[in-house]
Structure 1
Amino acid sequence: MHRRNFLKTGSIAGITLSALSINGCTAVPEKKPVDTPEAYNFELNEATIDELQQKMKDGKYTSRAITQLYLDRIHNIDKNGPKLNAVIELNPDVLSIADAMDNERKSGKIRGPLHGIPVLLKDNINTKDKIATTAGSLALVDNYIGKDAFIINRLREAGAVILGKTNLSEWANFRSTRACSGWSSKGGQTKCPYILDRNPSGSSAGTGSAVSANLCVIGIGTETDGSVVSPSSVNGIVGIKPTVGLLSRSGIIPISKTQDTAGPMARTVTDAAILLGILAGIDPEDAYAPKDNSKIQPDYAKFLDANGLQGKRLGIEKTAFTGNPDMEALLQNAITVLKSKGATIIDVELVKELKPIGTDEFTVLLYEFKDGLNKYLGTANSKVKSLADVMAFNKANEAKAMPFFKQEIMDQAQAKGDLNSKEYIDAVAKTTGITRKAIDKIMGDNKLDAIIAPTNGFACTIDLVNGDYDNGFGFSTPAAMAGYPHITVPMGAAHGLPIGLSFVSTAYKEADIIKLAYAYEQASKKRVIPEFKIDLLS
């Protein structure tokens, strides 16, 4: 949940408190802090899935060697040096998993494009490895599941190496209206790798920061409203929020059954598309999953087309031109690129039309958070078994669990009834139903292939005392409330701070917007490697 976008639409509505569980990976050698720009050089900088596969095929690297390089990188960059604090826990079995993949390769078995590729996961996704699933909360440090989430089972079957888990805004940013994105009581505050006093955005802050800083090849985040696309945007990477249900939510700590989804986060559209195809699948336990395979593409990378913008009609969100002038300049440049590749741009207005139902979205999330979390905790391997237990733990351990902001959103959720409540049923009809109709109508009336806009404004500064502030624009909410697909790709940067360009369409149109985003990416080439600046003036 990207709480700042939510609060805006609802009015359309390094500190570490506990030692990071990173010492379980004994293969990581002790490193001295990184203190020179030269030390940021990394032999796998900007490496892609295809490049690493080729290097393993040629015998230059093994999966173990690649994994060890990323472990060293995490130790140098994440825990020393700039101290991004993006990784909350490493997998103690990671090198043995890499060895197993190497042994399979030697025997001639290659599972697919992710065979032997290290992946980082947001710490609200269950894994059977010796890693807790905590949502960043001290209340869940004992939550060792012993069973993979559905999407992690698919990831493992594809031969991926589970490197570890990333920090997040605690409870996916659904605890307090005054929260600072990227902070959790277990993991502390994650930083933006471009400028270290800037917020990496929530709630998939750790995954966004880690992927951008080359701590892994690819990562997985989750989104309720903005939490894949927003951290992808401000960390200068690609993020895909798929149609709700395309990726199973089983085994993921929930906020909303109508809006939650996991999503790929990568440095290129190609890698994000590859990961999406691996994760997508029909899960009988997820009521929102497609009923058959007709909605699912096993390979989204086959839709990559550098000429994919030719003849396409794109609706540009008009309210994006009333914000930060630096953002507007980047958007105008993006429009020029889009037109040069054959796209037609049409002005549309969606955000203002949806403003009145922002408070209904919050109502839906309060009800669904309570219901979903109680069901998850009821079968979890933790002493806390309900939302009420979590709140009681936080109050009993307030100095460590709630040192900067409290839990008033949890208080509001706990006060709600069940999902048969008329208030809830009416709110769902307004959010999901009205938003889908609005997007469908704009798309149909204008014969559009997608709606585009800046994903959000530039990263705000980290402020643990006052919490997040409005950064001027956000375009996550329409697709989030509709449950529709949304991809963001780097659009450029101002003052060293990147932002993304969003492409949104209707249900199960992932292939269409991936094609558009790839064509824009290839024509613009706006991804820039982070420099780990201390502040805006350095």
Structure 2
Amino acid sequence: MQLLSAGAPAIDAGPDVDLDLATIPLLAGRMADGTLSSVELTRAYLRRIAAVDGLVRSVVAVDPTALRQAEESDLRRALGRSRGLVDGIPVLLKDNIDTAGLATTAGSRALGVPPRRDAELVTHLRAAGAVVLGKAAMSEWGNFRSPWSVSGWSAVGGQTVNPHVLDRSPSGSSSGSAVAVAASLAQVAVGTETNGSIVCPAGHTGVVGFKPTRGRISGTGIVPISARQDTPGPLARHVVDAAILTAVLEGREADPVFTPASLRGVRVGVWRRTGFGTETDRVVESAVELLRRCGAVVVDVGLSHLDRIEAAGRLAVLSEFKHDLEEYLRTRQGVPRTVRELIEFNEADPVELSTFGQELFHDAEKAPPITDPAYLAQRRTATRLARRSIDEVLAAHRLDVVMTPTNGPARAVDVSDSPAPSTATPAAVAGYPSITVPAGFAGPLPIGMSFIGGHGTDAAVLRLAAAFEHAASARRAPAYLPTMPSDRA
């Protein structure tokens, strides 16, 4: 069996399966008819990691049992006991998701002792027969150790880079999950988001990233920032794969037939958030024209209360981080127990503070407890206003979704990674579904378009995103350019 992927050093020759283009339904069909095995597929991804990941540094650990898992999947299929669409499909997990026998570090050298149990979502993946391929790199502590953290950097994994242009940032914090999927190092990956950590790296690396309604996928067994905002979600090269993986992560059986919605008559509000640059503005205009050609009704909108949401949410998350992280640490053996102990570990470690500091750890240590009236008011304000910002605009214009740019062109990897514009905050703080889909390019750098829905509208958002994906056909495999063409000139 020959398996290929575009845009990287050749690993195999032959036309049978193009990893970059293959979807889970296609692979499941090939395995069902006997023209592909999970072992062959898993070996192809392992070879690809060995050949390509040195360029992008997106995988921090390969599961030594991956091929055995694939063999067990093939045996089940031979006995007529396949567990569904993802049986035998290789999946990477962000390095904050507890995986028995594999280190789960959140990028920190302080968490080097592997957990004893799987996170709940990992039990769902194993029950569905997925092959846990390994752990994906992440921005250390989810970019929540310092305001000047470097996206894609961790003391465990070093600097993950953007596969489209290797001196550009992948964004964060699910950096490795997004990069690995973009580079075809796994069929799909699982990331997590508190405020943009799925959709932002997905947009910057040219893949699909879906943040579901908070609570649909369990966060048990995941290193937290805020249990009131955190949610796991899929990263994939195709919306259909994101929809299938979402169902499995929720503990449901994936629908064997996923049908994109029709865009005709769909009402889309366009939130033209400024600050992304002229190239992103051009991609937004192209997306608007495409929607109109497909029969959608497009209305310009604005989302309100943004400054108040960000201010209240920023303070609330400090209290939540201290409480939720220390509660999580008590479930692990051989690791620090408190934020104070983590601060002291970092101060004594030769690597941890080599690139940026731990100002947010110090702030969290001093933050009020989650029983404090001031904290409770901040959380109520942030969540209430975030929900209002979306609910009111959806209702006022009778919208199905809000569309907005996910990202501007990726910045250069830099040790002073100042905050970039973001459209992720309202959906993240509200706990509402959002998905980014490749929409265009600024030179060689991908630009994503996000679709935001109301509470619980996950299925509708996925179907509309799939329709846009089909109409736009904007995704392309990375070119692994060493730097921007203008820079080389």
Structure 1 length as normaliser, TM-score?
Answer: 0.86
Provide the residue aligned with 1:136 in structure 2.
Answer: 107
Please give the residue correspondences for 1:131-280 in structure 2 after superposition, counting only pairs within 5 Å.
131-142=102-113, 144-280=114-250
Inter-CA distance 323–77: structure 2 relative to 1 (3 Å threshold): closer
Q: Check conservation: 2:318, 2:364, Cα contact below 8 A.
A: yes
> Which residue pairs with 1:105 in the alignment?
77
Amino acid at match of 1:85: R
C-alpha distance in 1 between matches for 2:64 and 2:272? 49
Residues 1:326 and 2:279 aligned together? yes
Map of 1:11 onto structure 2: none
User: CA distance change for structure 1 residues 56 and 521 in 2, over 3 Å: closer, same or farther?
Assistant: same
Q: Which runs of 5+ in 1 are unaligned?
A: 1-35, 282-296
* Deviations, residues 473-523 of structure 1 (Å, cap 9, x unaligned): 321001001010001100111110001111101111001111111111111
The answer to whether the aligner puts 1:372 opposite 2:343 as a matched pair is: no
| Matched residue type, 1:96 | R
Identify if the C-alpha distance between structure 1 residues 490 and 178 changes in structure 2 by more than 3 Å, giving closer, same or farther: same
Question: Shift of the alpha carbon at 1:38?
Answer: 5.3
What is the correspondence of 1:76-87 to structure 2 with a 5 Å cutoff?
76-79=51-54, 83-87=55-59
Instruction: Measure, in 2, the Cα distance between the counterparts of 1:274 and 1:382.
Output: 36
Return the letter of the residue paired with 2:38: S
Distance 1:185 1:354 in 2: 33
- Inter-CA distance 164–405: structure 2 relative to 1 (3 Å threshold): same
Amino acid at match of 1:529: A
* CA–CA separation in structure 2 for the residues paired with 1:355 and 1:485: 21
Residues 225 and 324 in structure 2, CA contact (< 8 A), matched pair in contact too? yes
Query: By how many angstroms is 1:418 displaced?
Result: 1.4
- Note if contact 2:148-2:418 (Cα within 8 Å) is conserved in structure 1: no
Match of 1:511 among 459, 464, 476: 459
CA contact (8 A) 2:84 2:254 kept: no
- Following superposition, the deviation at residue 303 of structure 1 comes to 5.5
Which residue pairs with 1:434 in the alignment? 385
2:30 paired with 1:55: yes
Contact map agreement 1:226 1:476 (CA 8 A) in 2:
yes
CA distance in 2 between partners of 1:56 and 1:106 (Å): 10
Cα deviation, 1:217-242, whole Å, max 9, x if unaligned, reads 00000000000000110110011100
Find the partner of 1:423 among 374, 383, 387. 374
In the alignment, what sits opposite 1:13? Answer: none
Structure 2 match to 1:347? 300
Match status 1:498 vs 2:470: no
CA RMSD of aligned residues (A): 1.6
Percent of aligned positions that are identical:
40
How far has the Cα of 1:301 moved from its partner? 6.9
Deviation at 1:347, TM superposition (A): 1.1
Q: Which of these residues, 334, 345, 354, is aligned with residue 382 of structure 1?
A: 334
Deviation at 1:57, TM superposition (A): 2.2
Matched, 1:305 2:257: no
Match of 1:30 in 2: none
Provide the rounded CA distance (Å) in 2 between the counterparts of 1:411 and 1:209: 31
Contact 1:253 1:373 in 2 (8 A): yes
The answer to whether the 8 Å contact 2:305/2:386 transfers is no
Residues in 2 aligned to 1:341 and 1:491: alpha-carbon distance in whole angstroms: 15
1:319 counterpart SS class: coil
Unmatched 5+ residue regions in structure 2?
Answer: 1-6
User: Given that residues 306 and 522 in structure 1 are in contact (C-alpha distance below 8 angstroms), is that contact kept between their aligned partners in structure 2?
Assistant: no
Measured in 2, the distance between the counterparts of 1:300 and 1:478 equals 29
In the TM superposition, residue 300 of structure 1 has moved relative to its aligned partner by 6.1
Equivalent-residue separation in structure 2 for 1:302 and 1:457 (angstroms): 34
CA shift, 1:113, in A, is 0.3
Per the TM alignment, residue 277 of structure 1 is displaced from its structure 2 partner at its CA by: 0.8
Partners of 2:74 and 2:254 lie apart in 1 by 24
**Match of 1:94?**
66
- Give the residue type in structure 2 aligned to 1:380: R
**Residues 1:450 and 2:417 are matched in the alignment:** no
> Whole-Å Cα distance in 1 between the matches of residues 254 and 10 of structure 2?
37
Taking a change above 3 Å as real, the CA distance of residues 41 and 502 of structure 1, as seen in their structure-2 partners, is farther
Corresponding position of 2:3: none
Q: Secondary structure at the match of 1:400?
A: coil
TM-score in terms of structure 2 length: 0.94
Matched AA of 1:346? V
Counterpart in the other structure of 2:314: 362
Structure 1, residues 326-380: CA drift from partner, whole Å, max 9, x if none? 1111111101111111111111111x53223312111111011000110010121
| Structure 1 residues 257-294: Cα deviation after superposition (integer angstroms, max 9, x where no partner) | 1110000100001000010111114xxxxxxxxxxxxx
In the alignment, the residues of structure 1 paired with residue 239 and residue 143 of structure 2 have an alpha-carbon distance, to the nearest angstrom, of: 26
CA contact (8 A) 2:11 2:47 kept: no
CA distance in 1, matches of 2:337, 2:99: 19
- C-alpha displacement at 1:535, in angstroms? 0.3
Residues 1:302 and 1:477: Cα distance change in structure 2 (over 3 Å): farther
Alpha-carbon distance in structure 1 between the residues aligned to 2:160 and 2:255:
31
Distance in 2 (alpha carbons) for counterparts of 1:360 and 1:480: 14
Name the structure 2 match of 1:469: 418
Shift of 1:382: 2.5
Q: 1:400 to 1:319 in 2, by over 3 A?
A: closer
* Greater mean alpha carbon deviation, residues 239-248 or residues 322-331: 322-331
Secondary structure, in 3 states, of the residue corresponding to 1:395? helix
What is the deviation of 1:383? 2.9
What corresponds to 1:294 in structure 2?
Answer: none
Q: Tell me which residue corresponds to 1:116.
A: 88
